């Protein structure tokens, strides 16, 4: 909360894809005290607010069952801002395009409260762009209009006159029009729009659940109903619809429409989520394991005291180097002091090592896993007589340490964290697996596999076979086999990019519906 008078930020969240939020919008969310958000705003956007922020759902769909009336929402904005809060009113699309942002801004002005309007991408633009329809294109359309398709039963003057605008512009975009689509089409036809005018409806635009149907204006209501297209949806009418086959890029992404269960911890899932989302997939995060740090043990203290004496630092996981770096900072001996050779398993571990303070130029990638690192180091002949620091998990694999010791190295294994089972609703997950709710189950570690199988039981393991099982590497794939889960995909390298390529190749000849 800020001192004195607060302020209101009317912020457009965009049409659905959280990555379409503006940088200015993200900055305001990051300092919000209160966020009043619409029903369909992505949870990913709400996560940008500080942990201390109050999140209030004040949304509605059309005129159905709003948690709060518009008057109540406006009153809440004013109340919080007068208390000194920075209040973000997070709206789908753009605040001033059928978002009632003008009403809320006027209320702020009347109350003498400072406010700011941060525009957002409206579904009138975003939905069309993701579905392959330019709003204008000089080959087909030089004008457009955006109209509301629902009728506010309390305000007769808000009813759109579709007969009057039927032929007034080239491209007609209708928001919130699915409930009245048949009536809208009849009025456009009565106003002179040709029955064979290309038209389309796009549901859940810019998200992995996006679905589009194309028909003539006359046939669109029946075609949309047959395809199960409902709110939230955008309707577009005009010759620009003819460009869909050429320009529909989003629905052609390699994993479009696939639903992937990702079993990583939230703090480690970001790169994975972004990679899968960029390929068109919907990612559902269900962590199977959690980690807790190990601090101030004699082994850690001794290793940090002798940090400059080690010849090699071996990093087999991002968790290990992050926790070692935390211990080093606490002891006042940052890892940047280490001047020996640094070897990491895979790019993710190398990246985490650089983030921990070691120069990227000092870090080499050696093998895809512990066995690969051992083979690479033995091939160099380097370990003999050298002192090696190996931070690891309490239950970590000892293969690397034993192999190096056999070759004559002195290895100090230092436990810096432990892995524990994460708690989740196993019964709910089993029900989703039984229903075939996931196209892919993605596992990033043997411990995640083990906890998954143990938690859901034999029936859940059998149901999991309905989905494609993807493992990040050979140890994880082996753990799948041990748990009765046959992996369909094993990444060539223990990196999300490698797993993504394997998934894309696997699904190249199958539509999302084929696997369900």
Q: What is the CATH number of the domain that holds 57?
A: 3.40.1010.10
**99 & 179 share domain:** no
Query: So what's the pLDDT on residue 103?
Result: 95
Looking at the structure of the chain, the number of domains it has is: 4
Q: 2 in a domain, yes or no?
A: no
**362 & 463 share domain:** no
Q: 481 in a domain, yes or no?
A: yes
Containing 188, the helix (H) or strand (E) segment is helix 181-190
Q: 316 in a domain, yes or no?
A: yes
41 alpha carbon, distance to own chain's centre: 13
Q: 167 in a domain, yes or no?
A: yes
**393 & 445 share domain:** no
Domain end point (choices 380, 397, 420):
420
Query: So what's the pLDDT on residue 368?
Result: 77
Range of the domain at 24: 7-120
Q: 441 in a domain, yes or no?
A: yes
- For 80, phi then psi, to 5°, come to -65, -40
Q: Which of 126, 124, 117 is closest to 19 using CA atoms?
A: 126
Q: If you count DSSP H runs as helices and E runs as strands, how many of each does the chain have, helices first?
A: 19, 21
Positive or negative, the Cα torsion across 80, 86, 90, 93? positive
**401 & 462 share domain:** no
Q: Which of 513, 509, 488, 491 is closest to 500 using CA atoms?
A: 491
Q: What is the CATH number of the domain that holds 143?
A: 3.30.950.10
State whether residue 308 is helix, strand or coil. Answer: helix
Query: So what's the pLDDT on residue 59?
Result: 79
* The two three-digit tokens of residue 263, written as one number: 């079993």
**404 & 383 share domain:** yes
Longest Cα separation, the chain? 90
Q: 78 in a domain, yes or no?
A: yes
In angstroms, what is the C-alpha Rg of the chain? 28
**248 & 217 share domain:** yes
- For 375, phi then psi, to 5°, come to -60, -40
- For 382, phi then psi, to 5°, come to -75, -35
- Residue 116, beta-bridge partner list: 9
**385 & 331 share domain:** yes
Q: 1 in a domain, yes or no?
A: no
**167 & 232 share domain:** yes
CB 488 within 8 A of CB 507: no
Query: So what's the pLDDT on residue 60?
Result: 63
State whether residue 135 is helix, strand or coil. Answer: coil
Q: H-type helices in 7-146, by residue range?
A: 23-29, 43-46, 70-82, 101-110, 123-131
| Terminal-residue alpha carbon distance, the chain | 49
Distance CA 253, CA 275 (A): 12
Mean pLDDT of the chain: 90
**106 & 173 share domain:** no
Query: So what's the pLDDT on residue 153?
Result: 46
State whether residue 201 is helix, strand or coil. Answer: strand
**156 & 39 share domain:** no
Domain end point (choices 394, 420, 446):
420
Distance CA 28, CA 36 (A): 13
Which regions in the chain score pLDDT beneath 50?
Answer: 1-3, 63, 153-154, 156-157, 515-516
Containing 35, the helix (H) or strand (E) segment is strand 34-37
CB 98 within 8 A of CB 175: yes
60-98 pLDDT, tens digit per residue, is: 655 455 557 889 999 999 999 999 999 999 999 999 999
Q: 453 in a domain, yes or no?
A: yes
Q: What is the CATH number of the domain that holds 427?
A: 3.40.50.10090
DSSP codes of every residue in 223-241: HHHHTT--SSEEEEESGGG
**232 & 149 share domain:** yes
Strand ranges in 176-244 using DSSP code E only, listed in sequence order: 198-203, 211-216, 233-237
**329 & 234 share domain:** no
Domain end point (choices 420, 441, 469):
420
Tell me 422's DSSP state: P
Distance CA 80, CA 325 (A): 41
């Amino acid at each position: 909360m800020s001192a004195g008078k607060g302020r209101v930020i009317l912020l457009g969240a965009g049409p659905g894809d959280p990555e379409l939020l503006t940088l200015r919008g993200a900055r305001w969310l990051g300092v919000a005290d209160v966020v009043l958000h619409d029903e369909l705003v992505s949870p990913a956007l709400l996560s940008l607010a500080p942990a201390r922020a109050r999140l209030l759902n004040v949304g509605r769909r059309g005129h159905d069952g709003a948690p709060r009336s518009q008057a109540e929402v406006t009153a809440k904005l004013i109340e919080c801002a007068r208390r000194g809060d920075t209040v973000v009113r997070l709206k789908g699309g753009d605040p001033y395009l059928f978002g009632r942002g003008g009403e809320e801004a006027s209320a702020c002005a009347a109350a003498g409260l400072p406010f700011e309007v941060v525009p957002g991408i409206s579904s009138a633009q975003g939905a069309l762009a993701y579905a392959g329809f330019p709003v204008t294109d000089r080959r087909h359309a030089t004008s457009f209009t955006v109209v509301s398709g629902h009728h506010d039963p309390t305000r007769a003057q808000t009813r759109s006159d579709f007969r009057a605008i039927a032929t007034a512009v080239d491209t007609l975009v209708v928001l919130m029009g699915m409930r009245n689509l048949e009536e809208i089409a009849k009025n456009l036809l009565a106003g002179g729009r040709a029955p064979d005018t290309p038209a389309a409806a796009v549901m859940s635009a810019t998200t992995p659940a996006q679905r589009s149907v194309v028909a003539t204006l006359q046939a669109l209501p029946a075609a949309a109903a047959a395809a199960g297209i409902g709110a939230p949806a955008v309707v577009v009418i005009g010759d620009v619809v003819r460009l869909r086959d050429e320009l529909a890029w989003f629905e052609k992404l390699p994993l479009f429409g696939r639903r992937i269960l990702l079993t990583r911890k939230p703090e480690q899932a970001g790169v994975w989520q972004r990679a899968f989302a960029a390929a068109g997939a919907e990612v559902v995060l269900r962590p199977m394991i959690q980690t807790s740090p190990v601090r101030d043990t004699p082994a850690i203290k001794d290793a940090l005291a002798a940090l400059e004496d080690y010849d090699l630092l071996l990093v087999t996981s991002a968790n290990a180097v992050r926790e070692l770096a935390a211990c080093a900072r606490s002891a006042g001996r940052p890892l940047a002091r280490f001047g020996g050779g640094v070897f990491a398993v895979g790019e993710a571990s190398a990246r985490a090592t650089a983030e921990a303070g070691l120069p990227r130029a000092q870090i080499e990638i050696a093998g895809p896993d512990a066995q690969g690192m051992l083979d690479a180091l033995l091939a160099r002949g380097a370990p003999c007589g050298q002192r090696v620091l190996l931070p690891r998990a309490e239950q970590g694999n000892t293969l690397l340490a034993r192999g190096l010791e056999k070759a004559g190295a002195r290895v100090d294994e230092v436990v810096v964290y432990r892995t524990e089972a994460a708690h989740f609703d196993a019964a709910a997950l089993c029900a989703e697996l039984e229903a075939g709710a996931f196209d892919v189950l993605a596992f990033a570690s043997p411990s995640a596999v083990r906890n998954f199988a143990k938690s859901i039981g034999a029936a859940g393991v059998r149901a999991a076979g309905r989905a494609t099982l993807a493992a990040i590497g050979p140890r994880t794939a082996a753990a799948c086999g041990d748990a009765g889960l046959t992996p369909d995909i094993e990444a060539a390298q223990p990196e999300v990019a490698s797993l993504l390529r394997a998934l894309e190749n696997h699904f190249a000849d199958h539509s999302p519906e084929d696997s369900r």
